[in-house]
A and B are shown apart, each in its own frame.
Chain A
Amino acid sequence: MPLVHKAAIMSSVEMSRALTRIAHEIIERNKGADNLAMVGVHTRGVPIAAHLAKLIEQFEGTLPPLGKLDITLYRDDLSEIGLQPVVRRTEVPFDISGMRIILCDDVLFTGRTSRAALDALVDLGRPSVIQLAVLIDRGHRELPIRADYVGKNVPTSRQEVVKVKLESVDKEERVDLYEMGLGA
């Protein structure tokens, strides 16, 4: 299906400012960086988690440990899905039990990815707190899930697509809104 570009949502500078604010909010809410760990959801949650970890180190002097979470095996649509999703490695090289986990993703939409991520996380241990940080919240939740930290709230329709591009994955940084085109 062809995607028609509708609007630019965030530029690279705006993304960077939003992440800086989120990093400050995380420190404020958690009263410092002690016991904090960042876990990114594959694919684009990972560089966001890494970026936030670096900012927190810059502000507080301690670098929170970084984990990568693949939620494929926890999806609730595996028995009906069309195209087989690729399973990637979960790499959380520290014990999450008792930690304050900041779960990071690029876009919060139906909430199903976050639900799967929560299940995947608790199978690794028992964190003291899990908080959710997202760059974009586009609404249309199908589950009772909300983010603790939001870069930007973007009202969308279900026919629209939000695309986040990150330097380490896409070689550029920007967020755009597209409309699923008719036909084809």
Chain B
Amino acid sequence: MRPKHLLDFQEWSKDELLKLLETTEAMAQVMTRQVKKVPALQGFTIGTLFFENSTRTRLSFERAARAQSADVMTFSASGSSLSKGESLKDTLKTLDAMYIDAYVVRHSAAGVPYQLKNWTNAIIINAGDGRRAHPTQALLDAYTFKMNYPQFDSFEGKKLAIVGDVLHSRVARSNIELWTKLGAEVYLCGPKTLLPEELKTKGVTLTHDLKEAVGEADGVMALRLQLERMTDGMLPSLREYCERYQVNDRIMHYAKPQALVMHPGPMNRDVEISGSLADSAASVIEKQVTNGIPVRMAVFYSLLIGKDASPS
């Protein structure tokens, strides 16, 4: 049965995920037209609940909602009653009284979207919770890969390398979940302090050797290195990190010749990824941003339309 929420990919079958990527293709066509708007979600109201700042993700969700004629209510935690001491539950109850069909939630604490779904009948879409999950980012990564990989046939047997600060990355966790579900092999690479052992599951290989991770890879994803990690003792020095883990033209020689380079942004040029590689033909980084809108349109459509979803 079709899942009611998008919290992560646990409830989503491989078929449902592939269908979502196909719906994304139809939505991308809408965004190429002169009139970039369809009436599909007329009458639906979507609330964006960002307890952690992220202008670009919020704007991408809002654009996706409006492109399907949904109404959007924007709630930002700063300046709201939350800062006056109102509880999360009471805030949600207040918003629920305003007839909202779906919430897009971002929170710095893992699990908040799970908790919210118990307090409302509305649909919950996770836009990032702590280090745990960021499913629409993973979907747009997979979609960008699918649309740009030469003669793409299937995710089955493809090798994706995710390099960098895996420990703090919800993008990495969602991509691991999605790509292994789609049948790809995932290699995680980074320094020991940033590569948690518990991520080693079926289809996932951990390594500290960048050549092993990138070797014969079809896709290489560099993660943003949060520079504050330098000061908390997780990394010896920036220079050493760049020498061992920077994704650059030199290391890409070990990947397949048609391999694609991805980055979830925002990028530290010449830290986790070399500037020249980010601007090269192998890079699909700009396309990832563009594809955020059709992916989120497909997510809204798939969750809001039809009464055949699972009840909870």
Contact = CB atoms under 8 A, between A and B. Distances in A.
A90 B68 CA distance: 15
Given A74-B39, A79-B44, A87 B23 contact: yes
Given A73-B301, A120-B38, 11 more contacts: A73-B26, A73-B39, A74-B38, A75-B40, A78-B41, A87-B23, A87-B301, A89-B29, A91-B29, A123-B35, A124-B33
Given A73-B40, A79-B44, A87 B26 contact: yes
Contacts of A73: 26, 30, 38-40, 68, 301
Interface of B: 2, 19, 22-23, 25-27, 29-30, 33-35, 37-44, 68, 298, 301-302, 305-308
Contact of B40 (A78, A90, A123, A125): A78
Do most interface residues of chain B lie in helix, strand or loop, or is the interface mixed?
loop
Interface in A45-63: none
Contacts of B38: 73-74, 120, 123
B302 A89 contact: no
A81 interface: yes
A172 interface: no
A119 B37 CA distance: 11
A84 interface: yes
14 contacts: A72-B26, A73-B26, A73-B38, A73-B40, A79-B305, A82-B306, A83-B306, A85-B305, A87-B23, A87-B298, A88-B26, A90-B26, A91-B29, A119-B39
A135 B35 CA distance: 30
Contacts of A120: 38
A25 B298 CA distance: 41
B12 to A, nearest CB: 14
B30 A81 contact: no
A70 B27 CA distance: 11
Interface in A83-117: 83-91
B150 to A, nearest CB: 20
Contacts of B44: 79
B302 A70 contact: no
A86 B19 contact: yes
* Range, interface on chain A: 20 to 34
Interface string A139-164: 00000000000000000000000000
Nearest to B27: A87
Given A73-B40, A74-B39, A78-B40, A84 B33 contact: no
A81 B29 contact: no
A78 B302 CA distance: 12
A78 B305 contact: yes
A81 B2 CA distance: 15
Contacts of B22: 86
B307 to A, nearest CB: 5
Contacts of B39: 73-74, 119
B307 A82 contact: yes
Nearest to A123: B35
A89 B33 CA distance: 12
B268 to A, nearest CB: 37
Contacts of B2: 84
Contacts of B308: 82-84
A87 B37 CA distance: 15
Nearest to A90: B29
A123 B33 contact: yes
Contacts of A84: 2, 302, 305-306, 308
A70 B26 contact: yes
A78 to B, nearest CB: 5
